[in-house]
Amino acid sequence: MRGERFLQSLDDGRSVWLEGKRVESIRQHPAFRGTLSTIRDLFDTLDDPALRDQVGYKAEGREPYAHSAFLVPYTAEQLAQRSRSFAFWSAQTHGMMSRLSDYARSIVTGWYAARRRLNELDPGFERKITAYYEHARDHDLFLTTAIIDPQIDRSGSLDDSRIADRYLHVVRETEDGIIVRGAKMIATGAPYTHDFIIYSFLKFEAKDASHAHVLIVPANSPGLHIVCRESFADAREQNHPLSARYDEMDAVLFFDDVLVPWERVLLYGDAEKVLALRANRTANALAFHQNVVRYVAKLEFITGVTFAVAESIGVTGFLHIQEKLGELLTQIEVIKALVIASETQAKPDESGVLVPELSYIETARSIGTKFYPRAVEILQQVGGGGFVQAPSGVEDFYGPISGLMHLYFEGAAVSAEKKVQLFKLAWDLIGSPLGARHELYERFYAGDPMRAYANLYNSFDKDRLVDPVWRLLKETSKGRIAPVL
Ligand SMILES: Cc1cc2nc3c(=O)[nH]c(=O)nc-3n(C[C@H](O)[C@H](O)[C@H](O)COP(=O)(O)OP(=O)(O)OC[C@H]3O[C@@H](n4cnc5c(N)ncnc54)[C@H](O)[C@@H]3O)c2cc1C
């Protein structure tokens, strides 16, 4: 089964740092055990005859199924197949695992799908991306992205050497490749990824050539250090059912003179070309499509938890609670509608690849930054103090105060034990370190939401909306309404 193969492949000498120590074996460390067991089970779905058609497809001339993130969609059915696979893994993980590599795989698939046109950027591009795409697909590579430069001083620029030296840059070229130095943040899933897709989110100038690059970097590259945040994994599954299995680790990457072989240097030295690749519509639409399909599962999950909490304490009859529960349903419907619109309005690109309509996906990503924090707020308002009244563990149900536990924790519609379990799950979702990380994630994973909204305004054809306003005022000033007799 490929889940086990995936786990074994992680013992490859990578340098992962957690709590001041280098992690000897990722798969044996308690911080990663639950998450890796979740990923192993997901990978195994590709080998399960009952499930593999939901998750994967048979690439031409290849026997085992490949994950559908690698499927280049030319037809509506193939686009739907991609969507189904994202929805399936998301449903299995309640939308709580966003970087199961299907996002980064989709970027690679998009660059591969648009390779002929992108070859105009660099004569080696088509050859390199084709070789890499086939390798990643055929070896089930787990991929993630790291595109943000370290938060040193956001008011500064590359003219400041404090910033220029720390942002990832090329220090020299060799026969074998380029040597890069600097840092990248944030790479979710970094400790258990195979390769990082690296580029910059910033718009560099022509003079910043050494900072302009698009790279694919193996996680076990000598000199690459993966520096993890604090682990939120909690082995006490009954207390923290989500933290126990879904802690996608976030990390910063330090590149201490890392050699990136030429075959993995997709672009280098030309800021304009890097920007053109980064803005490629085919790749962005295929990848961002995964984001919003996954997001539906997460909204459905938090809505389900909120409904269950409301029922368990008998508050569903109150009008303002019903209004809030209804609001959660509208959130789901809005994002679902945008997913459907993006798929039904998909159009072929120059190569015939069926590309989901990006404007709807971008809208879902932008508005989604407000939906999830609002959903968390609603769950807090519905559950009140119940989240912190839950006892420290369910063990008390089996000890000397068992009778009292059953008496005082009883709910309106559920037993005391079930109600405690439910509130612990809800607290894990909104109050635990993992829960706080998820709220932050939904605000920022798609970039800075403030600037995304501002860009939408700045790039919009405003005359279309403003001209009718001035026309109406012009007509009004002339008094064109004929008297009604
Ligand atoms: C949990 C989590 C997981 C993530 N996972 C990944 C991942 O796997 N891969 C990846 O590539 N990225 C990932 N990200 C990173 C994410 O893309 C960035 O956090 C996001 O783009 C925001 O950038 P920043 O954090 O550097 O914030 P900053 O850009 O530093 O912004 C901080 C504040 O300053 C303001 N600000 C900063 N600069 C400007 C400016 N020039 N003009 C106006 N306002 C400004 C912003 O509006 C914001 O309010 C993740 C983020 C989170 C929170």
Average the pLDDT over 379-397 and give the result. 92
Asked if 172 contacts 179 with a C-beta cutoff of 8 angstroms, the reply is yes
Q: Could you give the CA distance from residue 418 to residue 348 in angstroms, rounded to a whole number?
A: 50
Q: Could you give the CA distance from residue 147 to residue 52 in angstroms, rounded to a whole number?
A: 32
pLDDT tens digits, one per residue of 145-196? 999 999 999 999 999 999 999 999 999 999 999 999 999 999 999 999 999 9
Asked if residue 483 is part of any domain, the answer here is no
Q: Whose CA is nearest to atom 42 of ligand 1?
A: 451
Among 222, 255, 279, the domain-final residue is 279
Phi and psi at residue 84, to the nearest 5°: -60, -40
Neighbouring C-beta atoms of residue 477, cutoff 10 Å: 8
Report the DSSP beta bridge partners of residue 355: 347
256 & 348 share domain: no
Q: Could you give the CA distance from residue 427 to residue 383 in angstroms, rounded to a whole number?
A: 10
DSSP state of 262: G
320 & 273 share domain: no
Closest CA to 358 of 372, 371, 331, 339: 339
Three-state SS across 151-181?
CCCCCCCCCCHHHHCCECEEEEECCCEEEEE
Neighbouring C-beta atoms of residue 16, cutoff 10 Å: 25
Q: Looking at ligand 1, which atom is closest to the CA of residue 147? A: 11
Which residue range forms the structural domain that includes residue 159? 142-279
189 & 316 share domain: no
Asked if 248 contacts 437 with a C-beta cutoff of 8 angstroms, the reply is no
Cα(186) to centroid(ligand 1), Å: 9
Closest CA to 176 of 270, 267, 260: 260
| pLDDT attached to residue 10 | 97
Asked if residue 465 is part of any domain, the answer here is no
Rounded to the nearest integer, the mean pLDDT of the chain is: 95
Asked if residue 381 is part of any domain, the answer here is yes
Domain of 415: which CATH number?
A: 1.20.140.10
Asked if residue 401 is part of any domain, the answer here is yes
Band of residue 80 on the pLDDT scale cut at 50, 70, 90: very high
264 & 347 share domain: no
Q: Whose CA is nearest to atom 40 of ligand 1?
A: 154
Structure tokens at 274: 């890097």
Asked if residue 2 is part of any domain, the answer here is no
Crossing angle (nearest 10°) for helices 102-113 and 281-312: 160
| pLDDT attached to residue 485 | 67
Cα(154) to centroid(ligand 1), Å: 10
Helix, coil or strand: residue 419: helix
352 & 445 share domain: yes
The H or E element containing residue 22 is: strand 21-22
Asked if 189 contacts 248 with a C-beta cutoff of 8 angstroms, the reply is yes
How far does Cα 8 stand from its chain's mean position? 25
Phi-psi region of 352 (alpha: psi -120 to 50; beta: other; left: phi over 0): left
pLDDT tens digits, one per residue of 209-235? 999 999 999 999 999 999 999 999 988
Burial of 195 (0-12, 13-18, 19+ CB in 10 A): buried
Q: Whose CA is nearest to atom 19 of ligand 1?
A: 444
Does the structure show a pLDDT above 80 at 289? Answer: yes
- Amino acid (1-letter code) at residue 235: A
Neighbouring C-beta atoms of residue 248, cutoff 10 Å: 24
Band of residue 139 on the pLDDT scale cut at 50, 70, 90: very high
Cα(445) to centroid(ligand 1), Å: 7
The number of folded domains in the chain is: 2
Asked if residue 350 is part of any domain, the answer here is yes
268 & 313 share domain: no
Asked if residue 67 is part of any domain, the answer here is no
Asked if residue 193 is part of any domain, the answer here is yes
273 & 302 share domain: no
| pLDDT attached to residue 256 | 98
Q: Whose CA is nearest to atom 30 of ligand 1?
A: 151
Burial of 418 (0-12, 13-18, 19+ CB in 10 A): middle
| pLDDT attached to residue 77 | 97
Q: How would you classify the pairing of strands 250-261 and 224-228?
A: antiparallel
Does the structure show a pLDDT above 70 at 63? Answer: yes
Neighbouring C-beta atoms of residue 424, cutoff 10 Å: 23
The larger pLDDT score, comparing residue 204 to residue 339, is at 339
Among 237, 253, 279, the domain-final residue is 279
Task: Decide whether any atom of ligand 1 lies within 6 Å of the 441 Cβ.
Answer: yes
Q: Could you give the CA distance from residue 362 to residue 166 in angstroms, rounded to a whole number?
A: 31
| pLDDT attached to residue 119 | 95
193 & 319 share domain: no
Domain of 200: which CATH number?
A: 2.40.110.10
Q: Could you give the CA distance from residue 478 to residue 475 in angstroms, rounded to a whole number?
A: 5
Structure tokens at 444: 């920022």
Average the pLDDT over 380-409 and give the result. 93
Asked if 81 contacts 56 with a C-beta cutoff of 8 angstroms, the reply is no
Task: Decide whether any atom of ligand 1 lies within 6 Å of the 432 Cβ.
Answer: no
DSSP state of 427: H
335 & 456 share domain: yes
Structure tokens at 360: 């709807």
Closest CA to 189 of 143, 243, 132: 143
234 & 197 share domain: yes
Q: Could you give the CA distance from residue 240 to residue 66 in angstroms, rounded to a whole number?
A: 33
Instruction: Determine the residue of 142, 186, 253 to mutate for testing ligand 1's pocket, defined as the one with the most ligand atoms within 8 A of the Cβ atom.
Output: 186
316 & 447 share domain: yes
Average the pLDDT over 458-477 and give the result. 93
Q: Could you give the CA distance from residue 273 to residue 119 in angstroms, rounded to a whole number?
A: 11
Task: Decide whether any atom of ligand 1 lies within 6 Å of the 184 Cβ.
Answer: no
Phi and psi at residue 481, to the nearest 5°: -75, 120
Among 279, 295, 323, the domain-final residue is 279
Q: Looking at ligand 1, which atom is closest to the CA of residue 149? A: 26
What number of residues does the chain have? 485
- Report the Cα–Cα distance between both ends of the chain, in Å, rounded: 83
The larger pLDDT score, comparing residue 392 to residue 466, is at 466
237 & 377 share domain: no
